Structure 1
Amino acid sequence: MDLAKEFQGLGADPLLCQAERILSQRKLRNLTIDPDLLGEPGWDILLLAYVAHRRGSSCTIAQVADELNASSALVTRWVSALTARNLLVSNQISFSISDLAECKISDLLEHNIREMAQAFRHAKPSP
């Protein structure tokens, strides 16, 4: 079944909506707890590339560094590592998520949405 039809409250692109929620939660976590302790820049970069892809664009090192409040050197190292593992496609100007990573993250997000929906269906409201 089409995820957008099944979960109409999530908008036209539920996977984009879920990815944006995860990024928002991660930003809040980074404000609460030092990101040097719990940061996962590789995952954040993949999520940002995924969101950009769903919006029809790509990412630059400078944009992602600004978004993550990280150095360009850190983002460049991660982009290189993720590109070497075929999770990003990179050129000298920008980078984007690979088809492989887009498929894997889409599957993960869809599973996440369905799992949350099932949990909420079985939850009992508190008195």
Structure 2
Amino acid sequence: MFEPTLAGRELEARLLAALEEAVLLLRRDQMIDRMPSALEATAKRLYSVRRLRERYFAPDLLGEASWDILLDLYVARAEQRPVSISSACIGAAVPPTTALRWLGNLEEERLIRRYREGSDRRLVLVTLTDAAFEKMSSFLECVSCSHID
């Protein structure tokens, strides 16, 4: 499995920061005012397309469990729907141990957070962090507004 170097992670962080800055400037300059429901629809469409690919290609050839988790959690947050750890694992469309590992990686990167709610303390829920929700929204705006060749 490929493990990025510290320099690679720093470069990736700088590139992501530059992309976020560009999206913020684009929003300000072009006054993009997209309804969250449009972004939610884009996230659902991307997730559906990923599931559709599995009808034609072996899933292990195209696996990106962490991206599936992020898309699923984005839609859930937009719908104000709680997601359990087990539901997030199912949404990742990979074995549970693999999904749990990716959830751990996303949590380390502060893209998701686990929490407990209500009287059943055994139930652990997961959601996108505010920062991750903003990053996903920015990405989905770019995808929704552009023609990718």
Q: TM-score, normalised by structure 2?
A: 0.68
Structure 1 counterpart of 2:99, from 57, 71, 75: 75
Alignment of 1:44-83 (within 5 A): 44-83=68-107
The Cα of 1:61 is off from its aligned counterpart by 2.4
Q: Which letter maps to 1:30? A: E
Extract unaligned runs of 5+ from structure 2.
Answer: 1-31, 117-123
The Cα of 1:2 is off from its aligned counterpart by 2.3
Q: Is the 1:30–1:39 Cα contact (8 Å) retained in structure 2?
A: no
Could you say if the C-alpha distance between residues 68 and 42 of structure 1 is closer, same or farther in structure 2, counting changes exceeding 3 Å? closer
Structure 2 counterpart of 1:22, from 20, 24, 46: 46
- Which residue is 2:110 aligned to? 86
SS at match of 1:110: helix
Q: Is the 2:66–2:92 Cα contact (8 Å) retained in structure 1?
A: no
Q: Is residue 2:135 matched to residue 1:111? A: no
CA RMSD of aligned residues (A): 2.0
- Aligned identity (percent) is 30
| d(CA) in 2 for partners of 1:78, 1:109 | 21
Q: Is the 1:61–1:75 Cα contact (8 Å) retained in structure 2?
A: no
SS at match of 1:94: strand
Can you list the C-alpha shifts for 1:40-73, whole angstroms capped at 9, x where unaligned?
Answer: 0011001101110000023222213333432221
Extract unaligned runs of 5+ from structure 1.
Answer: 5-11, 120-127
| d(CA) in 1 for partners of 2:71, 2:93 | 15
| d(CA) in 2 for partners of 1:32, 1:40 | 16
| d(CA) in 1 for partners of 2:134, 2:93 | 27
The Cα of 1:36 is off from its aligned counterpart by 0.8
